[in-house]
Structure 1
Amino acid sequence: MTAEPTFDDLFGECHRSALHLEMRDDYGISSPGFVAWREGVHFNRTDFDAPWVTLVSGAVARGVAVRRARVVSEPVSDYIRYEHSATPYANLAGGEQVRWLPRRLTSDLALPGNDFWLFDERLIRFAYFSGDGEPAGHVFCDDPAVIKLCLAAFEAVWERGVDHADYRPT
């Protein structure tokens, strides 16, 4: 049996694009970064985010466009407020492009039921979460029809989204 690809594998095999669509208002509320942020405790973001920044920056250096689009409810949850404050360290530092789209502007868009990563328009990694935002598994898909749906959904959100530098959580 072949081992399931890791993010290191997925980014290592990626040549053109890695797209990530996030649509939840809470993720991993027990994560150390969020807990420290919520409690007002200093948290070393640089060390915490270093493995992700290294992974993404390596792909970006090879010419891979890494884009992340986030659909958020407004007013935003505490987790989204935290995520927004961490984006410069966790995402932008590695070369990701990040946009935010208020959920109220998505009613006419066909969006998949789960967050996903789409690598080179050939492989999707859908992520599943529990009701409180904790990771609950994932599944891979290479069905061309599903890839087409997810690519269209991502691009529609991206087109309407607000660049991280200009988005102010309300």
Structure 2
Amino acid sequence: MPSSAFDELIAKCTGSAVHLEMRDTYAVDYEKGPFADWKSGFRHDPADRASWWRPWLDLMQETVSRGIVVRRARIVSEPVSEYTRFLHDGTFTNVAAGEQVRWLPRRRASDIALPGNDFWIFDERWIHWNHFAGDGSSLGEEVTDDPAAAKLCANAFETVWSRAIPHDQYEIR
């Protein structure tokens, strides 16, 4: 769920918003119910948009409609975790909202200098770090415009993006 800091950064964004996810499991509160439902066999019907559309997708659609390029890359271990299967199964919703999404098998990221935390970077300047505990629960956020950190994040993201597989071509292993 976006925070007020995130909301402010995405609202002020003028060109690009990119997100790098590097964990195989997340345990954020707002996904506990949907993940449990998915594990019990529930799957969204892509044709029934009203059943899966949610505020996050409104925000992404509005952001993209302002001309902002929104890209998300996920570095994943293979074989993938159950949680990654859940993410992959639901990513069609992100794509429907206008996000571009790619997947990079972790074995293809070994020589990339990566930051220690997941992040969003807005206009290659503002970084919104996402901090997580070992169990995947959220430990909060941090925002910085440190130029060295921004350069690291932008370079890491672009390298991951160039190697990653578009969502519609990535096959779960």
Are the equivalent residues in 1 in contact too, given 2:112–2:159 (CA < 8 A)? yes
Are the equivalent residues in 1 in contact too, given 2:44–2:90 (CA < 8 A)? no
Are the equivalent residues in 2 in contact too, given 1:67–1:96 (CA < 8 A)? yes
What amino acid is the match of 2:74? R
Aligned pairs for 1:1-170 within 5 A: 5-28=4-27, 31-41=32-42, 46-47=50-51, 49-89=53-93, 91-170=94-173
- How far 1:33 sits from its partner (Å)? 1.0
Q: For residues 158 and 43 of structure 2, what CA distance do their matches in structure 1 show?
A: 36
Count of residue pairs brought into register by the alignment: 166
What 5-or-longer segments of structure 1 have no aligned partner?
A: none
Provide closer, same or farther for how the CA distance between residues 61 and 108 of structure 1 changes in structure 2, counting only shifts above 3 A.
same
Provide closer, same or farther for how the CA distance between residues 128 and 49 of structure 1 changes in structure 2, counting only shifts above 3 A.
farther
Matched residue SS, 1:131: coil
- How far 1:41 sits from its partner (Å)? 3.8
CA deviation string 1:19-62 (max 9, x = no partner): 00000000126621111101224668855551011101111001
Provide closer, same or farther for how the CA distance between residues 47 and 6 of structure 1 changes in structure 2, counting only shifts above 3 A.
farther
Q: For residues 128 and 150 of structure 1, what CA distance do their matches in structure 2 show?
A: 15
RMSD: 1.8
Matched residue SS, 1:87: helix
- How far 1:136 sits from its partner (Å)? 1.2
- How far 1:6 sits from its partner (Å)? 3.4
Q: For residues 105 and 42 of structure 1, what CA distance do their matches in structure 2 show?
A: 30
- TM-score where L is the length of structure 2: 0.89
Q: Which deviates more from structure 2 when the two are superposed, residues 80-89 or residues 132-141? A: 132-141
Are the equivalent residues in 2 in contact too, given 1:99–1:163 (CA < 8 A)? yes
Q: For residues 147 and 28 of structure 2, what CA distance do their matches in structure 1 show?
A: 34
What amino acid is the match of 1:115? D
Provide closer, same or farther for how the CA distance between residues 48 and 139 of structure 1 changes in structure 2, counting only shifts above 3 A.
farther
What 5-or-longer segments of structure 2 have no aligned partner?
A: none
Provide closer, same or farther for how the CA distance between residues 66 and 17 of structure 1 changes in structure 2, counting only shifts above 3 A.
same
Are the equivalent residues in 2 in contact too, given 1:18–1:64 (CA < 8 A)? yes
Point out 4+ residue stretches in structure 1 off by more than 6 angstroms. Answer: none
